[in-house]
Amino acid sequence: MAETQSECKLWVFVEQRKGKPAEVGIELLGKALNLAEDIGWKVGAVLLGHQVEKLADEILSYGVHEVIVADASGLAEYHNLAYVKVLERAIREHEPEVFLLGATTMGTDLGPRLAARLRTGLSAHCIDLELNDTGELLAVIPWSGGNSLGRISCPRTRPQMATINPGIFDMPPPGTVRGRIIYINGAVDQSDFGYRIVETHHQEAKPGDLETAEVIVVGGYGVGREENWHHIEDLAAMLHGAVGATRPPVDEGWAEGNQMVGQSGRTVYPRLYIGIGISGHMHHLVGIKKADLMVAINQDPNAAIFAHCDLGLVGDLKDIVPSLIESLKGYSQ
């Protein structure tokens, strides 16, 4: 039996584990609907898994035109080769112009393999997307060095692919259902798995996690050495906030990898951001989606970060931070 042909030119992969969709997939649907509307395209959400009918209905409520579902027991757990096989088959059959994925551990593993199999281009870890009226996708990424962003296109091959960081786009509100569910071939063999999953371990998100914190104090390379890192932690504790880091402190081992804020790290939306000893690279700044108040402390009055902040303090953090903690103590008594 031939598959129902998809009418959607813009496909978004909505990843799920254990029937729970990754938020980034829904965020991307919202963005995709905005982009597609301008040039009269339709948006399809692509869902792979086993017994995912309920989830397909839920996704439909975000106003997409189609939920394109492959439902098979072989897709119950994520195996990259099996997922690549199903997606390659569907993409060759339905020929979408654009294929988007979240830059999650799954998306960044699946995307590159799929792009290589299709011999098409994939822009990694994008922080914005544009679609011009000829249907050309421009993917925006922070550019190394200098405070600039680069725009990447995929002029000759289709689909145009991109992975997009979680938390960049807002979740669309669930609204009226207007689309349909179409089923695609999800058949895979054991031999398509590549690896055998022996066990999986999930940890619960802890309070104080960067994504949910109202106050985030972020330390940079200017902290200088591990023995100074307590300044960042002390201030965060004083403000009941979470501790973040730029990349160098993570590389140096002063902070954990999951504390990194920025393009390769987390995207955050605190009410208050305080950046300490941070120069202000785009790679870091793109991770701060919004904050009511952004404060920077840096000994260099010309540091780039001051052009992106509300309040600036110039001086050695080893002087300013202890003074600040003292002054704050005065208010909390």
Ligand X SMILES: Cc1cc2nc3c(=O)[nH]c(=O)nc-3n(C[C@H](O)[C@H](O)[C@H](O)COP(=O)(O)OP(=O)(O)OC[C@H]3O[C@@H](n4cnc5c(N)ncnc54)[C@H](O)[C@@H]3O)c2cc1C
| Number of residues in contact with other proteins under rule CB under 8 A | 94
Cα distance between residue 233 and residue 124, in whole Å: 32
Instruction: Count CB atoms within 10 A of the CB of residue 281.
Output: 20
The answer to whether 312 contacts other proteins (rule: CB under 8 A) is yes
What's 268-288 look like in SS3?
ECCCEEEEECCCCCHHHHCCE
- Exactly one of 73, 93, 116, 187 binds other proteins (CB under 8 A); that residue is 116
When the beta carbons of 137 and 303 are compared against ligand X, the nearer one is 303
Among the residue ranges 40-48, 66-74, 174-182, 295-303, the one whose residues contact other proteins (CB under 8 A): 295-303
Cα distance between residue 32 and residue 194, in whole Å: 32
The answer to whether 284 contacts ligand X (rule: CB under 6 A) is yes
Q: Which two tokens stand for residue 233?
A: 């932690």
When the beta carbons of 4 and 153 are compared against other proteins, the nearer one is 153
The answer to whether 145 contacts other proteins (rule: CB under 8 A) is yes
When the beta carbons of 178 and 230 are compared against other proteins, the nearer one is 230
Q: How far is the CB of 152 from ligand X (least distance, A)?
A: 13
| Closest by CA position to 193, among listed 16, 17, 74 | 74
The answer to whether 300 contacts ligand X (rule: CB under 6 A) is yes
Name which of residues 229 to 258 contact other proteins (CB under 8 A). Answer: 239-240, 247-248, 251, 257
- Exactly one of 1, 40, 202, 225 binds other proteins (CB under 8 A); that residue is 202
Residue 165 binds which of other proteins, ligand X, none (CB < 5-8 A, kind-dependent): none
Name which of residues 240 to 259 contact ligand X (CB under 6 A). Answer: 246-248
When the beta carbons of 7 and 88 are compared against other proteins, the nearer one is 88
**Interaction mask 82-101, other proteins, x per CB under 8 A:** --x-----------------
Q: Which two tokens stand for residue 318?
A: 């080893």
Residue with tokens 């509300």: 310
Cα distance between residue 154 and residue 160, in whole Å: 6
**Interaction mask 308-327, ligand X, x per CB under 6 A:** --------xxx---------
Q: How far is the CB of 178 from ligand X (least distance, A)?
A: 37
- 21: which residues sit within 8 A by CB, 6+ positions away? 14, 15, 55, 58, 59
**34 to each of 26, 50, 51, how far by Cα in Å?**
13, 30, 30
Among the residue ranges 89-97, 164-172, 193-201, 280-288, the one whose residues contact ligand X (CB under 6 A): 280-288
- 114: which residues sit within 8 A by CB, 6+ positions away? 83, 84, 87, 88, 91, 99, 161
The answer to whether 207 contacts other proteins (rule: CB under 8 A) is no
The strand pair at 128-131 and 137-142 is best described as antiparallel
Contact 245, 220 (CB under 8 A): yes
Give contact residues for ligand X (rule: CB under 6 A). 144, 220-222, 224, 246-248, 260-265, 277-279, 281, 283-284, 287, 298-300, 303, 316-318
